[in-house]
Amino acid sequence: MPELLHGLTSEFAYGKAFSEVIPVANPAVATGFTITVGSRYWERAASLSFVLTTDSNAANRSVLLSVKDGSGAVLDAVPPAAVQVASKAYTYVYRPYTVAVNDTVNLVNVQDLPRFFLQPTYTLVVAIANVQAGDQVSAIRWQPERFDTSADGFYTGVVEALPTVEPPAV
């Protein structure tokens, strides 16, 4: 019988998994933030949102979301749909399979979210270009789909395939 690799794949997954919304502490003023995948799970990004409130200093802020591996190498990056001007509070929403939208009426910026498995030590990094002294990121919400890969988690690895059963001849 052939051997099969059982485990996690990029668009179809099986096993013990769950999703949850995780509030992330506000970073210091005039900085972005980083979310690091812990050692117990592999994760798929379901959504990420936050509010960027800019001070009155004249500058166009530009938000960049990067996905990095454990060594810090960039695997993917999502450039902004538009810049954010002074004295505004925009809500940024990242979700899979979306078309970038910058709604200047409701102050919402929607962006595509990279869709692949994040291994332990991988990071999501939000950086703000031209950030000013009074700019603040707040209301950060991270929603991963988590797959337990610890010793208690779902088995992954090579296993022998079960024989197929042929239907009876008619």
- Give the pLDDT band (50/70/90) at residue 105: confident
Q: How many independent structural domains does the chain possess?
A: 1
Give me the mean pLDDT over the 117-146 stretch: 95
Does the residue 166 lie in any domain?
no
Backbone φ and ψ for 83, nearest 5 degrees, come out as -80, 160
Backbone φ and ψ for 48, nearest 5 degrees, come out as -145, 130
Does the residue 19 lie in any domain?
yes
- CB-based contact 27:165 (threshold 8 Å): no
Give me the mean pLDDT over the 26-51 stretch: 94
- CB-based contact 21:141 (threshold 8 Å): yes
Does the residue 168 lie in any domain?
no
Domain span at 109: 3-160
- Closest C-alpha to 15, from 170, 157, 164, 165: 157
For the chain, what percent of residues have pLDDT higher than 90? 59
CATH number at residue 117: 2.60.120
pLDDT over 80 (residue 154): no
Q: Are strands 101-103 and 108-112 parallel, antiparallel or unpaired?
A: antiparallel
pTM: 0.81
Note the pLDDT tens digit of each residue in 63-76. 999 999 999 999 99
What pLDDT is recorded for position 167?
A: 73
